[in-house]
Amino acid sequence: MRRIISSSALVLGLVFSGIAVAQIADLRFPDVQPGAYFASAVDRLSRKGIIKGYDDGRFAPYDYVTRGQVAVMIDRYDQSTIQKLRQQVEQMREQLGLGRCGDSTVQVGEE
């Protein structure tokens, strides 16, 4: 019985340490420490393509951000959100059996 419990504990330990290693390996920037308060946000936003690092692979979390860079990040977020909404609208159209009513590609007076 004791051997089963210790084996189970070992397996669980390996599984959870593997998960932690996988999460650490998923971080895209070597200068973003896994325990940093912004690490998960940086990872999530970089996966969505909203933020990007420097060409050398760094994120440089403590560098200053220009207004131009902020504008680009907001635009990427906006485009990402719009794309998601378009997909949801298309899915709803399909589920409800709606045609292309209101589609902007059809102009008044066209045949």
What is the residue-level pLDDT of the chain in tens, covering all 111 positions? 555 444 444 444 444 444 443 344 455 899 999 999 999 999 999 999 999 999 999 999 999 999 999 999 999 999 988 988 989 999 998 888 887 655 555 555 655
Query: Which residues in 5-79 belong to E strands, given as ranges?
Result: none
The domain total for the chain is 1
Nearest-CA neighbor of 71 among 51, 85, 53?
A: 51
What domain range is 55 assigned to?
2-96
Separation between Cα atoms, residue 52 and residue 104, nearest integer Å: 33
Residue 23 lies in a domain: yes
Instruction: Return the pLDDT at 14.
Output: 40
Residue 64 lies in a domain: yes
Residue 108 lies in a domain: no
Instruction: Return the pLDDT at 100.
Output: 65
Instruction: Return the pLDDT at 107.
Output: 55
Count of helix runs (H) and strand runs (E) in the chain: 3, 0
Instruction: Return the pLDDT at 74.
Output: 94
- The residues, ordered by sequence, that sit 6+ positions from 79 with a Cβ below 8 Å of its Cβ are none
